[in-house]
């Protein structure tokens, strides 16, 4: 779980994630990210923040181990029942997570891929995933787009996200709050090969806590190779461990360009534009 707050930017390890979910943690307001790591081992990960209940079915659907710094009581009630393997900084002895000086709390919590792996081993967690993954396009991959285009996801204020598609690189370069999304580990701008806009309802459930309807189905817009695909998303409500699927208008599962995937979970009332 990674911070969305402007004060925590730039984040460490974001460019090395295989897939990232960005989702509101307050309706019409703050977003937070969950980054999935399979192929890379970032030397530093952070700022690590708390989890929410609606990130849990997304993590379980990928057969992941959830690393977080506490969470809402809705989330912790589920995790304390053993619903999935997780590593909580609030229960850590001090060897897995650490706080960095010169950064204001609670934005100064960090870890690393190796530290998390060692912790998972110490808990005797299963380290081989059963997640089937996503389909990918094969052969020589070149973008169909010939001009630079901008994808805007209308989160509010400093949480607003845009991607600028570069046809030469066939990549979507990420910006947040009007500033390039930089990975502090390598000082490079985050570069996605695929972006999914997943439309899902959000509503407040208690005070500062909301929940997003990430189980069921809804509209989706998929961006890859410089093209926009209007489609749908689906996740079986009867099983939190079910895969989150993305389909085109013909009902065929989306094949992604090899490389980083970002899923922007956008409320129905928030603007999305591609121009």
pLDDT digit string, tens, across residues 192-211: 999 999 999 999 999 999 99
pLDDT reading at 133 higher than 70? yes
pLDDT of residue 94: 85
Residue with tokens 């379980």: 60
pLDDT of residue 84: 98
pLDDT of residue 143: 67
pLDDT of residue 93: 78
**Of 35-44, 132-141, 168-177, the least confident:** 132-141
Element (H, E) at 248: strand 245-248
pLDDT of residue 55: 98
Q: To the nearest whole percent, how much of the chain has pLDDT over 90?
A: 95
pLDDT reading at 141 higher than 90? no
Q: What is the mean pLDDT of the chain?
A: 96
pLDDT in tens, 66-101: 999 999 999 999 999 999 999 999 998 789 999 999
Is residue 229 within 8 Å of 248, Cβ to Cβ? yes
Q: At 96, list the tokens.
A: 């897995």
pLDDT of residue 158: 98
pLDDT of residue 257: 97
Cα angle value 209/263/76 (rounded, 5°):
35
Cα angle value 94/97/100 (rounded, 5°):
100
- Give mean pLDDT, residues 31-58: 98
CA distance 259 to 204: 34
Q: Helix, strand or coil for residue 268?
A: coil
Model confidence at 146, pLDDT cuts 50, 70, 90, reads confident
More confident residue, 236 or 140: 236
Q: To the nearest whole percent, how much of the chain has pLDDT over 70?
A: 98
Distances 28 to 160, 269, 271 between C-alpha atoms, Å: 11, 9, 12
Element (H, E) at 80: helix 73-80
pLDDT reading at 140 higher than 80? no
């Amino acid at each position: 779980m990674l911070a969305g707050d402007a004060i925590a930017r730039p984040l460490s390890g974001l460019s090395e994630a295989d897939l990232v979910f960005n989702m509101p943690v307050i309706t019409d307001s703050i977003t937070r990210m969950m980054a999935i790591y399979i192929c890379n081992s970032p030397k530093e990960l952070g700022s690590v923040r708390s989890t929410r209940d609606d990130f849990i079915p997304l993590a379980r659907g990928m057969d992941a181990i959830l690393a977080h710094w506490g969470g809402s009581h809705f989330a912790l009630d589920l995790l304390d029942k053993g619903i999935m393997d997780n590593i909580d900084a609030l229960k850590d002895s001090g060897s897995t997570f650490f706080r960095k000086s010169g950064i204001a709390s609670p934005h100064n919590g960090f870890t690393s891929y190796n530290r998390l792996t060692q912790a998972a081993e110490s808990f005797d967690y299963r380290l081989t995933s059963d997640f089937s993954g996503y389909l990918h396009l094969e052969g020589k991959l070149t973008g169909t787009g010939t001009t630079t285009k901008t994808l805007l996801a209308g989160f509010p204020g400093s949480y607003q996200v845009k991607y600028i598609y570069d046809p030469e690189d066939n990549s979507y370069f990420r910006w947040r709050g009007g500033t390039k999304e930089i990975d502090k580990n390598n000082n490079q701008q985050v570069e996605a090969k695929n972006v999914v806009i997943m439309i899902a309802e959000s509503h407040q459930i208690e005070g500062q806590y909301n929940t997003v309807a990430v189980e069921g189905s809804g509209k989706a817009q998929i961006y890859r190779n410089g093209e926009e695909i209007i489609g749908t998303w689906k996740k079986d409500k009867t099983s939190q461990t079910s895969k989150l699927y993305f389909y085109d208008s013909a009902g065929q599962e989306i094949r992604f360009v090899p490389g980083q995937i970002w899923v922007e979970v956008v409320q129905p009332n928030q603007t999305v534009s591609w121009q």
